[in-house]
Amino acid sequence: MKTLGRIFRSEYVFLGILTILLIIAAFFLFSITVKGNRSDDNSVWNEYYAPLEDAYVAEVREYLNDNGYVNSGVTLTHTTDGELNREYTLSIHNRRLEGCSEERRDEISCVLRSMGFEDGRCVISVKLS
């Protein structure tokens, strides 16, 4: 009985409660970390699409330079919805485009959209200014 009395002394009870609380805190800490590293995270998709976006912008610049629109400002931006589908906007800025006919602008827009990378999750629109 003396041994049982020593086990339930206040120091051991405090140490036991502290141990249980630390175990519970560690459990919550590790479960939060695991949730933050899900495979469908947007950052994973950003890493996947980054080289495709860079190649597309380079191809667009080459096309514009070859067709007389040298030193065009080319910007590619995107928005991502809740299902991680992307809507891209390709903005082209060149003074010569302001004087083009509507037919020529439509032709350039169509060519630039067709250069885009094939992906069912992505839609590309073109703005010429």
Give me the tens of pLDDT residue by residue for the chain, a chain 129 residues long.
566 566 566 667 777 888 999 998 888 877 775 555 455 567 888 899 999 999 999 999 999 999 999 999 999 999 998 888 999 999 999 999 888 899 999 999 999 999 988 888 899 999 998
Q: Which long-range contacts (CB under 8 A, 24 or more apart) does 39-42 make?
A: 40/84, 42/80, 42/84
Hey, where are the domains in the chain? 2-36, 42-128
Q: Would the pTM count as exceeding 0.85? A: no
Is 42-128 in CATH node 3.30.300?
Answer: yes
Which helix or strand (DSSP H or E) is residue 127 part of? strand 122-128
